[in-house]
């Protein structure tokens, strides 16, 4: 679950950024109430491997190498970036901005169909699987209803997206409860994707209370993800014509660059797995990549995955970097349209920050 958080602190110039891979969202910023160790509410549900891995900074932890294709995890409290983010003495927070999207989800339909296509090929081999793939002899895919589940928020396991979204709301309520009663009903926004809408509703239940809609505590505004609506701050990638149509430098360039890197790192993995299971004949780069994807997706749904043990630490690091390449060139700094699309939200937020708390105290965009 990606999360960007801005805090306006009266009397101080400050910008706090919370992201899945850099800063803990678990700190409470009111000095009088901040806990030295606010453990994520999900921690008590974590699998032992996760808990043990966090105890040692030197141990390699798979959850840190899924390239965003896995659950949100809390950074070590020993990391310097996870230190106290409370406002300085004499300052207080009077405006908060959050931009997110959805919490943990199932594979999208296109990715899920690619997984199922590979698994069907594997089953049709009618040969027992050996060595690192022996678990496939009895393994089942992590949804028995793909049409219902693909692309949707996960609702099972210790990393359920529904639980993550709700917990985030509870943490925001704890951290910013003094701002909740400053105005009338709060309007917040979600793009018109069911997993995003569900994330927003679970987040609101944790933040405003389970009866937030019937009480009128908040109003959810759903923004269509359609080209006809023109530019919008939540999903500009769906409305920027040049970004969509430029096959060399637009959205598709992320997949082009991903494919090039897949061709570099997957052949050695393919040779190793085919040597263990000759009946495959060959494993393509997209099949290897899909097997690595299933590691993260299964963790988000079941809390663990046998796919993870198929690959070495180097294999996982390559996958992690491949994911970085995809997003760097697809929508990040390596894409010439990324800045222009991100400017929409940044500009709107800047105006609110400059206007101060008179413009409102809480702004949530999913």
**What is the CA 48 to chain-centroid distance, rounded?**
22
> Would you say residue 32 has pLDDT above 50?
no
pLDDT of 19 over the 60 cut: no
* HSE (side-chain half, CA atoms, 13 Å) at 59: 12
Confidence of residue 79 (pLDDT cuts 50, 70, 90): low
User: Would you place residue 243 in the very low, low, confident or very high pLDDT band (cuts 50, 70, 90)?
Assistant: confident
Number of Cβ within a 10 Å radius of residue 71: 25
DSSP classification of residue 208: H
Q: How far apart are CA 247 and CA 242, in angstroms?
A: 9
Highest mean pLDDT pick, 60-74, 167-181, 196-210: 196-210
Residue 181 banded pLDDT, cuts 50, 70, 90: confident
Question: What would the pLDDT profile of 325-357 be if each residue is shown by its tens digit?
Answer: 999 999 899 999 888 888 888 999 999 999 999
Residue 5's pLDDT band (boundaries 50, 70, 90)? low
- Cβ neighbors of 300 (< 8 A, separation 6 or more) are 70, 71, 104, 105, 154, 157, 159, 161
pLDDT at 77: 52
8 pLDDT more than 90: no
pLDDT value of residue 344: 86
Q: Say if residues 31 and 86 touch (Cβ distance below 8 Å).
A: yes
- Average pLDDT (172-193) is 85
Separation of alpha carbons 226 and 64, rounded Å = 34
**Position 43 pLDDT exceeds 50:** no
Rounded Cα distance between 129 and 42, Å, is 35
In sequence order, what are the residues at sequence separation of 6 or more whose Cβ sits closer than 8 angstroms to the Cβ of residue 230?
239
CA separation for the pair 323, 305 (Å, rounded)? 19
Please report the pLDDT score of residue 230 as a whole number: 62
User: Please, which pLDDT band fits residue 182 given cuts at 50, 70 and 90?
Assistant: low
Domain boundaries, the chain: 63-73+94-104+154-244+336-365, 108-150+247-331
Task: Indicate the class that CATH gives domain 63-73+94-104+154-244+336-365.
Answer: alpha beta
Query: Which of the two residues, 72 and 319, has the higher pLDDT score?
Result: 319
106-161 pLDDT, tens digit per residue, is 999 999 999 999 999 999 998 999 999 999 999 999 999 999 999 999 999 999 99
């Amino acid at each position: 679950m990606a999360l960007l958080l801005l805090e306006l602190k009266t009397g101080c110039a400050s910008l706090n950024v919370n992201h899945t891979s850099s800063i803990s969202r678990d700190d409470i910023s009111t000095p009088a109430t901040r806990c030295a160790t606010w453990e994520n509410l999900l921690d008590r549900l974590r699998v032992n491997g996760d808990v043990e891995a966090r105890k040692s900074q030197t141990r390699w932890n798979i959850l840190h190498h899924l390239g965003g294709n896995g659950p949100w995890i809390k950074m070590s409290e020993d990391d310097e970036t996870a230190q106290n983010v409370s406002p300085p003495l004499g300052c207080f927070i009077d405006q908060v901005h959050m931009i997110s999207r959805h919490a943990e989800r199932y594979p999208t339909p296109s990715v899920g169909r690619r997984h199922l296509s590979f698994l069907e090929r594997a089953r049709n081999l009618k040969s027992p699987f050996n060595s690192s793939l022996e678990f496939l002899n009895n393994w089942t895919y992590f949804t028995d209803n793909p049409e219902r589940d693909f692309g949707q928020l996960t609702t099972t396991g210790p990393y359920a997206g529904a639980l993550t979204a709700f917990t985030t709301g509870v943490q925001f309520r704890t951290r910013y409860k003094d701002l909740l009663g400053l105005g009338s009903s709060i309007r917040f926004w979600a793009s018109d994707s069911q997993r995003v809408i569900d994330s927003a509703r679970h987040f609101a239940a944790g933040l405003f209370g389970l009866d937030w809609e019937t009480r009128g505590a908040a109003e959810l505004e759903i923004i269509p993800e359609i080209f006809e609506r023109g530019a919008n701050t939540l999903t500009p990638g769906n409305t920027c014509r040049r970004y969509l149509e430029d096959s060399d430098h637009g959205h598709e360039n992320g997949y082009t660059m991903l494919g090039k890197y897949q061709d570099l790192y997957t052949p050695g993995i393919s040779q190793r797995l085919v040597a263990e299971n000759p009946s495959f004949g060959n494993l393509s780069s997209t099949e290897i990549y899909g097997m690595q994807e299933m590691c993260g997706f299964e963790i988000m749904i079941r809390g663990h995955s046998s796919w993870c043990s198929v690959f070495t630490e180097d294999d996982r690091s390559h996958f992690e970097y491949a994911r970085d390449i995809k997003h760097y060139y697809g929508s990040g700094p390596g894409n010439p349209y990324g800045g222009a699309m991100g400017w929409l939200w940044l500009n709107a937020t800047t105006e609110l920050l400059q206007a101060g708390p008179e413009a409102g105290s809480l702004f949530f965009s999913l």
